């Protein structure tokens, strides 16, 4: 059975065959052309002459502008991606550097804070180690009264740490106040600029004693005034005012309001005396910085009243009954100054030899030594025979240096030319 | 018909232009791939040996006259490498397929998408091998750096052909062809 092929398929197959033939012809032409070009190029390479280089010159002439244009496009795309990459990298680096900068800033702040703490601790340690016998303790300021008339703050140490009322509080080698209202775990500190504060002080140069009080409640200034100074002496500006160690005695519990002697309070601002309700005063500028108090030292030493020996006496005896006395006022060494007024340690006297028999003046006068001329021209005193120098006056004169002979004068004559 | 020739011509020109302009921009660890061989291997599988020969010849000739690094090498090496790959991995002829069918061979030929990178691998291996041999014969002692660069080039070119074959085959219209019954 013969099946007739449709007309359309016959047409398609014939056209497909034609296309294939045409394509093959084109390809063969291209191949031949390529072989021709390659052959010409080989001839150029072999002969070394440009006679047969016309095909490659033509190809190069066509390819060069196309290649240039394509290269520009590629460069543009390349630059675009490079810019994108650079931008992302820059952004990344910027973010990284920013983070690093923040970290460094934080570290710098931390370092600064630690440096400050270290310096504070060093000062505190110096004070504490120098006056270890005063039983010091470091406390941190945990609260401040923001009032304009009183200056008090709260520290984080209390009676559990051995703190009692009226203990001296210092910072940076200067007294800033004393404790009061002590609780188990905290205590209040009244500063010396508070007008309620009253501390016995003395001027270190003249030893004039008085009472130092704060002026914050009087005129709002963070200063002190010193009252009850002797009228016959004029303090000089810059004179140091320190605690005098003199204070009240509080019988309850035997606690004294006196502070260790020698803690600097401030300096005399001016020698002109002011007058306040018939009381003369001088202005004292406190040494401590009351605006930046973070750590303080509380000196837990307190003079405890104790009985004098043989105090116990019978009730009928109306004889002398010794009063309560406090133990000797301690001294405190702050900074380079050492304030030590009482008790002053007396040096142990060295034993001296007592003369066995004091010679009478007559004996000495009778045997007056006569000077004799020595061979080298010096005068020499001879003691009379029988008189021993060791037992006479219990000292010997040190030998004097023998004078050396005067050198010959130099010949200073000048020869004339 | 003309469309196919035009597309082939554009692809050939593009392969040459990409080879001489772009490869440095897409270099990995300082090693540029051979885009021309990658595209030739794709054409090998998609269009056949004749197109492979023409394309490799054109590219080799253009590279020879435009960027002559070594005399004859591009002109000879590109067609040789491409035709060797085409011999191994291009579509088998109907006669060859029939012969294998009568011999009872089950798997007649590999998938085209696998043959394209394999063709690229073979051609670039030959290309790199000849270059390494040339360098070695020139008196240069081959070290690990040479081998490393050659391996990167081989891998990169193979990968490029595996990736680029999909858009190029689609553009050439290979996916539109009906399978022969």
* Among the listed residues B180, B110, B117, B179, the one whose alpha carbon sits nearest the alpha carbon of residue B154: B117
pLDDT the model gives residue A412? 54
B58 Cα to chain A: minimum distance (Å): 7
**Residue ranges per structural domain of chain B:** 2-92+106-176
**Which residue from B4, B161, B106, B54 is spatially nearest to A38, judged by alpha carbons?**
B54
- The Cα of A61 is separated from the nearest Cα of chain B by a number of Å equal to 10
Give the residue ranges of DSSP H helices in A131-230.
216-219
Q: Which of B1, B25, B64 sits opposite A22 (nearest CB)?
A: B1
Q: Are strands A187-191 and A174-180 parallel, antiparallel or unpaired?
A: antiparallel
- Write down the H helix ranges in chain B: 2-21, 35-47, 49-66, 73-89, 94-102, 112-137, 144-172
**pLDDT of A387:** 46
Say what the pLDDT of residue A108 is: 95
For B172, other C-beta atoms within 10 Å of its C-beta total 20
Are the beta carbons of A186 and A158 closer than 8 angstroms?
yes
Q: Return the SS3 of A100.
A: helix
pLDDT reading at A333 higher than 70: no
Assign A46 to helix, strand or coil: helix
CB-CB: which of A30, A41, A70 is closest to B75? Answer: A41
* Residue A409 scores a pLDDT above 70: no
Question: Residue A48 phi/psi, 5° resolution?
Answer: 80, 15
CA distance A130 to A119: 16
CA distance A324 to A340: 23
Q: Which of B5, B16, B57 sits opposite A34 (nearest CB)?
A: B57
Question: At A339, is the pLDDT very low, low, confident or very high (cuts 50, 70, 90)?
Answer: very low
Whether residue B160 has pLDDT greater than 70: yes
Contact state of B25 with A74 under an 8 Å Cβ cutoff:
yes
Q: What is the pLDDT of residue A366?
A: 44
Q: What are phi and psi of A172, to 5 degrees?
A: 50, 50
Task: Let me know the angle formed at the C-alpha of A45 by A43 and A48, rounded to the nearest 5 degrees.
Answer: 90
Q: Are B82 and B54 in contact (CB under 8 A)?
A: no
The pLDDT of residue A417 is above 50: no
Mutating which of B10, B21, B52, B71 best tests the A interface, going by the most A Cβ atoms within 10 A? B21
**H/E stretch holding A82:** helix A54-130
pLDDT digits (tens, 9 = 90+) for A367-390: 445 555 555 555 554 544 444 444
> What distance lies between CA A293 and its chain's CA centroid?
14
**Is the confidence at residue A335, as pLDDT, over 90?**
no
Q: Please write the tens of the pLDDT for every residue from B38-58.
A: 999 999 988 888 889 889 988
Asked whether residue A127 carries a pLDDT value surpassing 90, the answer given is no
A156 vs A20, A161, A185, A257, CA distance in Å? 103, 10, 6, 22
* Of A25-39, A218-232, A251-265, B63-77, the least confident: A251-265
Q: Which one of A18, A25, A27, A54 would you mutate to disrupt binding with B, by most B Cβ within 10 Å of its Cβ?
A: A27
Q: Is the Cβ pair A27, B54 closer than 8 Å?
A: yes
Residues of B with CB under 8 A from a CB of A: 1, 4-5, 13, 16-17, 20-22, 25, 50-51, 53-54, 57-58, 61-62, 64-66, 71-72, 75
Q: What is the pLDDT of residues A22-52, one digit of tens each?
A: 878 888 888 888 888 888 888 887 877 777 7
pLDDT of residue A321: 57
The minimal CB distance from B65 to the residues A30, A60, A66 is found for A60
Average pLDDT, chain B: 84
Q: Which residue has the tokens 């000062």?
A: A123
Residues of chain B in contact with residue A77, where contact means CB-CB under 8 angstroms, are 25
Q: Which residue has the tokens 């001294």?
A: A331
Q: How many residues does chain B have?
A: 181
Contact yes or no for B49/B84 (Cβ under 8 A): no
Best CA proximity match to A214, nearest among A149, A143, A127: A149
pLDDT of residue B61: 87
pLDDT, position A18: 78
The tokens of B28 are what?
């990995």
Is A400 or A353 the better-scoring residue by pLDDT? A400
Query: In chain A, which residues touch B (CB < 8 A)?
Result: 19, 22-24, 26-27, 30-31, 34-35, 37-38, 41-42, 45, 56, 59-60, 63-64, 66-67, 70-71, 74, 77-78, 81
The pLDDT, as a whole number, for residue A13 is 58
Residue A75 has what pLDDT? Answer: 87
| Closest residue in B to A30 (Cα–Cα) | B54
Q: How many angstroms away from the CA of B42 is the closest CA of chain A? A: 18
Nearest to B71 among A26, A34, A45 (CB): A45
Residue range B2-92+106-176 in CATH 1.10.1760.20 = yes
Looking at per-residue confidence, does A368 or B77 come out higher? B77
Q: What tokens does A120 get?
A: 């504070």
Alpha carbon of B176: minimum distance to chain A alpha carbons (Å) = 17
CA nearest to A391, candidates A357, A346, A349? A357
Residue of A17, A19, A21, A23 to mutate, testing the B interface (most B Cβ within 10 Å of its Cβ):
A23
Mean pLDDT of A92-115: 93
Shortest CA distance from A36: residue in chain B: B61
Using the beta-carbon criterion (under 8 Å), do B62 and A63 form an inter-chain contact? yes
Give ipTM to 2 decimals. 0.74
Distances in Å between the Cα of A417 and the Cα atoms of A11, A410, A413, A414 are: 146, 21, 13, 9
- Considering only CB atoms, B54 lies closest to which of A31, A45, A77, namely A31
Å between A26 CA and nearest CA of chain B: 9
**Could you give the 3-state DSSP secondary structure of residue A261?**
strand
Taking 3-state DSSP, the helix, strand and coil percentages for chain A, each rounded to the nearest 5, stand at 35, 20, 45
Taking an 8 Å cut-off on Cβ atoms, the answer to whether A45 and B61 are in contact is no
Its pTM stands at 0.47
Residue A101, pLDDT score? 95
Contact list, A37 vs chain B (CB under 8 Å): 61
Q: What does the pLDDT average to over B112-135?
A: 89
| pLDDT higher than 50, residue B24 | yes
Mean pLDDT of chain A: 74
How many Å apart are CA A110 and CA B179, to the nearest integer? 76
Q: What's the confidence (pLDDT) of residue A85?
A: 87
Residue B138 DSSP symbol: T
Position A327 pLDDT exceeds 80: no
> Residue A189: beta bridge partners?
A153, A179
Residue ranges matching CATH 2.40.10.340 in chain A: 131-310+323-338
pLDDT per residue over A178-227, tens digit each?
998 888 988 989 888 887 888 889 998 888 888 898 887 676 678 888 88
Say which of A34, A60, A78 has its CB closest to residue B66.
A60
* Block residue for tokens 């294998």: B100
Under CATH, which number does the domain A131-310+323-338 receive?
2.40.10.340
Buried b (16+ CB within 10 A) or exposed e, B143-168: eeebeebbebbbebbbbbbbebbeeb
Q: Strand A136-144 vs strand A152-155: parallel, antiparallel, or unpaired?
A: antiparallel
How many CB atoms neighbour CB B26 within 10 A?
14
What are the CA-CA distances from residue A278 to residues A268, A273, A281, B27 (Å)? 20, 12, 10, 98
Q: What is the pLDDT of residue A107?
A: 95
CA-based nearest residue to A255, from A392, A360, A131, A159: A159
Question: Could B25 and A78 be called an inter-chain contact, meaning their C-beta atoms sit closer than 8 Å?
Answer: yes
DSSP track, A365-384: HHT---EEE-TTS-EEE-PP
Per-residue pLDDT, A395: 46
Question: Do A23 and B4 lie within an 8 Å CB cutoff?
Answer: yes
**What's the pLDDT at B94?**
78
């Amino acid at each position: 059975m013969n099946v007739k092929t449709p007309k359309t398929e016959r047409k398609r197959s014939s056209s497909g065959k034609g296309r294939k033939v045409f394509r093959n012809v084109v390809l063969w032409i291209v191949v031949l052309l390529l072989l021709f070009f390659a052959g010409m190029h080989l001839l150029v390479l072999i002969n070394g002459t440009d006679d047969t280089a016309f095909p490659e010159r033509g190809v190069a002439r066509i390819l060069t502008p196309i290649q240039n244009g394509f290269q520009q496009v590629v460069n543009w795309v390349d630059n675009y991606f490079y810019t994108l990459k650079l931008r992302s990298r820059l952004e990344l680096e910027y973010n990284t550097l920013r983070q690093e900068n923040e970290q460094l800033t934080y570290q710098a702040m931390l370092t600064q804070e630690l440096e400050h703490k270290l310096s504070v601790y060093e000062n505190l340690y110096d004070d504490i180690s120098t006056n270890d016998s005063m039983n010091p303790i470091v406390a941190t300021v945990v609260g401040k009264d923001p009032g304009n008339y009183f200056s008090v703050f709260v520290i984080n140490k209390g009676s559990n740490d051995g703190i009692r009322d009226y203990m001296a509080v210092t910072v940076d080698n200067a007294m800033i106040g004393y404790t009061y209202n002590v609780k188990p775990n905290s205590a209040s500190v009244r500063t010396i600029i508070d007008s309620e504060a009253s501390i016995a002080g003395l001027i270190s140069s003249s030893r004039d004693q008085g009472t130092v009080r704060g002026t914050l409640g009087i005129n709002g200034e963070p200063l002190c005034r010193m009252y009850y100074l002797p009228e016959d002496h004029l303090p000089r500006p810059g004179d140091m005012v320190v605690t005098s160690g003199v204070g009240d005695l509080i019988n309850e519990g035997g606690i004294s309001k006196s502070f260790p002697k020698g803690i600097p309070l401030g300096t005399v601002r001016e020698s002109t005396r002011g007058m306040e309700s018939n009381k003369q005063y001088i202005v004292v500028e406190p040494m401590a910085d009351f605006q930046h108090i973070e750590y303080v030292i509380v000196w837990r030493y307190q003079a405890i009243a104790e009985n004098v020996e043989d105090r116990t006496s019978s009730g009928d005896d109306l004889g002398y009954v010794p009063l309560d006395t406090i133990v000797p006022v301690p001294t405190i060494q702050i900074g380079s100054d050492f304030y030590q007024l009482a008790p002053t340690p007396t040096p142990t006297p060295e034993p001296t030899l007592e003369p066995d028999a004091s010679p009478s003046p007559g004996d000495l006068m009778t045997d007056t030594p006569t000077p004799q001329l020595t061979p080298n021209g010096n005068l020499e005193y001879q003691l009379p025979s029988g008189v021993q120098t060791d037992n006479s006056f219990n000292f010997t004169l040190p030998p004097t240096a023998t004078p050396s002979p005067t050198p010959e004068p130099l010949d200073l004559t000048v020869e004339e030319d | 018909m003309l469309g196919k020739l035009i597309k082939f011509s554009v692809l050939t020109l593009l392969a040459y232009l990409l080879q001489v302009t772009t490869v440095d921009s897409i270099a990995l660890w300082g090693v540029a791939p051979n885009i021309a061989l990658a595209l030739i291997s794709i054409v090998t599988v998609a269009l056949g040996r004749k197109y492979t020969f023409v394309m490799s010849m054109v590219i080799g000739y253009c590279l020879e006259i435009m960027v002559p690094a070594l005399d004859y090498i591009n002109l000879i090496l590109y067609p040789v490498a491409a035709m060797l790959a085409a011999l191994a991995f291009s579509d088998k002829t109907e006669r060859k397929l029939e012969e294998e069918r009568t011999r009872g061979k089950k798997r007649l030929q590999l998938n085209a998408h696998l043959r394209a990178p394999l063709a690229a691998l073979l051609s670039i291996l030959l290309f790199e091998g000849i270059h390494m041999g040339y360098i070695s014969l020139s008196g240069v002692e081959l070290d690990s750096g040479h081998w490393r660069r050659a391996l990167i080039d081989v891998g990169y070119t193979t990968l490029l052909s595996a990736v680029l074959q999909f858009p190029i085959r689609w553009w050439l219209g290979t996916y539109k062809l009906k399978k022969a019954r």
